[in-house]
């Protein structure tokens, strides 16, 4: 089993994530590419001591990026997780 800090890369604090947190008690995380929903659930339990009711994952597609005049590349693809917590639980790292 992987260490929890290897599963959860970083929390995502965005405008959409703030609305999800306030309305539905859902939190956004960038997770490792090979992380499963069960790995994410166990990592949240160890890192933040919360119980996840539901974990949804998705891939964020790469976007085109320009480097100077003629060269063009892409940003990297990464995996995002939307985690729903029990109604009485919160994560303090998001309350800035």
Return the residue matching tokens 């947190």. Answer: 21
Choose among 75, 39, 43, 73: nearest CA to 59.
Answer: 75
Report whether CATH 3.40.980.10 matches the domain 4-87: no
Choose among 8, 80, 6: nearest CA to 44.
Answer: 8
Task: Output the six-digit token pair for 67.
Answer: 């480097």
pLDDT at 68: 85
Say what the pTM is. Answer: 0.88
Choose among 80, 86, 88: nearest CA to 17.
Answer: 80
| Residues 20-49: tens digit of each pLDDT | 999 999 999 999 999 999 999 999 999 999
Is the per-residue pLDDT at 96 higher than 70?
Answer: no
pLDDT at 1: 72
Which is more confidently placed, 68 or 39? 39
Count of other CB atoms within 10 angstroms of residue 48 = 21
Return the residue matching tokens 């917590």. Answer: 85
């Amino acid at each position: 089993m992987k260490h929890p800090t290897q599963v959860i890369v970083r929390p995502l604090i965005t405008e959409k994530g703030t609305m999800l947190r306030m309305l539905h008690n859902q939190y956004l995380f960038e997770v490792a590419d090979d992380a499963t929903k069960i790995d994410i659930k166990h990592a949240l339990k160890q890192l933040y001591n919360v119980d996840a009711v539901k974990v949804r994952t998705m891939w964020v597609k790469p976007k085109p990026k320009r480097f100077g005049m003629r060269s063009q590349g892409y940003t990297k693809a990464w995996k995002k997780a939307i985690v729903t917590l029990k109604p009485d639980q919160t994560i303090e790292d998001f309350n800035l």
